[in-house]
Structure formats: C-alpha cells, structure tokens
Structure 1
Amino acid sequence: MIIWLNGPFGGGKTTTANELVGLLPGAHFFDPEMVGYFLRHVLPDAQGDFQDLPAWRALAAETALQVHAHYGGPLVVAMTVLCKDYHDEIFTAIRARGVGVRHVVLDVEHDEHVRRIESDEIEAGAKEWRLRHIPRYREALSWLRHAGEVVDTTHEPAAAIAARLAKGLIPTISTS
C-alpha cells in the first residue's frame, strides 16, 4: 500500500510522514520532489512548477511503484498535488499496477497554516512561495475533499496525527 499525504505547502506533510514511517513496520518514505530536482538537473531549460512536466508525473508514480515493489512495506509519500488532472494521472498509474493508494489530505486552518510557515526554521527560504500558494490550496479543497480522506491537523501535533493514521492503517496493511 502507498499512503499519499497531500495538503498545503508548509502544512506539516513531511513531518507527519516521518512520524508515520516510524510507526508502520517496514515502512519507507518517498518525496517525489526529489524527482523534480532530478528533472531540473537533466532538463535545465524546464522552468516553473516541475509538476507541469509529464515526465515528473510519470516518474513520480513509477518511482513510488518501484520502491514499493523492491523494498516492500508501506510506502509513505508526502507531496502536495493541487491539480486534479495531475492527481488523477498519478493515482491511476499506481492503481493500474494493482497497488492500493490511501490518499490523505492533511488540512490546517488558515491562521495556523500561516503560523507554521512563518515559524519554519528548516525551510525558511520557502516562506514567501508557500504563503503565495495558500489560495491555490484553498481552491483545490473543493475536489480534494472528494479525492481523499481529509484530516484536520490544526490542533494536533504531527506525532498525534501520525499515530491516528497508523492506528487506522495497521489492520489494512496486515491483511493486504
């Protein structure tokens, strides 16, 4: 199974993913952003959002599938995908190969989201970019609510969210 954590940029996906990996036996973490960095190295003329590159979408799905196939265990993915067509393309490619995907949207109220972005010392350089993308996330919520399980993270730390997710995932993983 692949557990895809989606949600706003700077909302806590990677922190939650790392906590979740520690709670799921045999789990691995995959950040599809690394595929984007690779493509920018290979295609230096490619500007803008690497999610707009068809190669990124195909490679994000294929890399997740390959890691899952070769190393087993649940694969936890942390990546914001706000374009419904891109989501559908990636998730369809994964499911077409017989791998289940649990899509979890880690939502956070606006004020808390801004606070998290502004207090982030690890990726402080992404602050302005993340703040500019809040409206895009809010617009995408209309389809995200139907595409995944929405979990409000506003008042709980990442460790508590991960524990809740793990509790719901362990029976599913054990039987798959």
Structure 2
Amino acid sequence: MIIWLNGTFGVGKTTTSKELAALLPDARVFDSETVGYMLRHVLNSVPVRDFQEWPPWRGLVVETAAQVLDFVGGVLVIPQSVLVEQYWEEIHAGLAKAGIPVRHFVLHTDPDTLAQRIEGDTVETGARQWRLDHIPRYQDALPWLRREAEVIDTTHLSPTQVAQTIAASVPS
C-alpha cells in the first residue's frame, strides 16, 4: 500500500511522514523528490520550472514505488506535493495498473497558519520565500484535491496527531 501525503510546501508532510512510518508496521518513507534530483543531470537540456513537468519523473516514481514494494512489501509513505491534476491522474493510474492500493491524504491548513509555519521553520530556511510563493498554486489546486483525497485540517494538530489520525484510518 502507498499512503500519499499531499498538500502545499511547508504544511508538514515530511515531518508527518516520519511520524507515520514509525507508527505503521513495515512502513518506510519514500521521498519521490529524489527521482527528480536523479533526473536533473540527465534532462538538464530540457528546461522546466518543476521536475514534475518531466513525464519520466511521473513514470519513474510509479516504477520505483512498485519495485520497492515488490522487494520489501509493507507500506510506502510518500510525502510529495502534486498540485497539477493531470500529473496526479498519471501517477494514480500507474499505481492502480501496478495493483498498488493508494490512500491519498491532503494535509491542509489556512493560509495565515501556513505562512506562520513557513516563517517559523528553522530547518528549510532557504526555501522560505519559494514556499510562500507557492501558496496560491495550492489554493488553485484545492478543488480537485478535495475530490481526489481525504483532507486533514492540520491547523490545530501536531504532526504526531496528524500521523495518528492517518494511522487510525488505515487498515492494518
């Protein structure tokens, strides 16, 4: 099974994914951004704003997840913002074709709380403005995200509480 944690940048996906993996037996975090980093040196002649724009990224995320699950089984927790509906549809269809069940969650908070979290982040300080600049893209994606995922309002929850909420909703 895959538990996909979606949501805007800075909402707490990475922190929650670590907490969640610790709560679930045989769970591990798969950071699909590493697939994008791998492709950068190969596809640097194809300029994009975001590596998700490269079709090979989407296909390789599916293939990598399938290979990892075939090898070790268990649960993959993927903390990755996907704000383009077409990209999500491709990834979800690929995972379905591979026979991998997916639980798709969106971690959500109001824009003011999100901005406070981003401003207060002491780990990824270099990405602060970039994260703030992406809030409108997330807001634009919310209608389709609400259709495609289970939305968890994280405004008044810690990452541990969010992870516990998700873990409680996932069959063992």
Shorter-chain TM-score tier: over 0.9
Q: CA deviation at 1:42?
A: 2.0
1:13 is matched with which residue?
A: 13
Q: What is the alpha-carbon distance in structure 1 between the residues aligned to residue 135 and residue 42 of structure 2?
A: 29
Q: What is the alpha-carbon distance in structure 2 between the residues aligned to residue 16 and residue 68 of structure 1?
A: 21
TM-score for the superposition, normalised by structure 2: 0.97
Q: CA deviation at 1:107?
A: 0.5
1:161 is matched with which residue?
A: 162
Q: CA deviation at 1:132?
A: 0.6
Q: CA deviation at 1:68?
A: 1.4
* Aligned amino acid, residue 57 of structure 1: R
1:42 is matched with which residue?
A: 42
Counterparts in 2 of 1:1-176, with a 5 A limit?
1-47=1-47, 48-169=49-170, 172=171, 174=172
State the aligned residue count.
171
SS in structure 2 opposite 1:42? coil
* Aligned amino acid, residue 144 of structure 1: L
* Aligned amino acid, residue 91 of structure 1: H
TM-score for the superposition, normalised by structure 1: 0.95
Q: What is the alpha-carbon distance in structure 2 between the residues aligned to residue 82 and residue 59 of structure 1?
A: 18
What CA RMSD, in Å, does the superposition of the two structures yield over aligned residues? 0.9
Q: Could you report, residue by residue, the CA deviation over 1:46-76 in whole angstroms, capped at 9, with x for unpaired residues?
A: 3321000000010111111111111111110
Provide the identity percentage. Answer: 51
Q: What is the alpha-carbon distance in structure 2 between the residues aligned to residue 6 and residue 122 of structure 1?
A: 20
SS in structure 1 opposite 2:41? helix
SS in structure 2 opposite 1:138? helix
- Mark the runs of 5 or more structure 2 residues left unpaired by the alignment: none
SS in structure 2 opposite 1:15? helix
- Mark the runs of 5 or more structure 1 residues left unpaired by the alignment: none
Q: What is the alpha-carbon distance in structure 2 between the residues aligned to residue 165 and residue 83 of structure 1?
A: 23
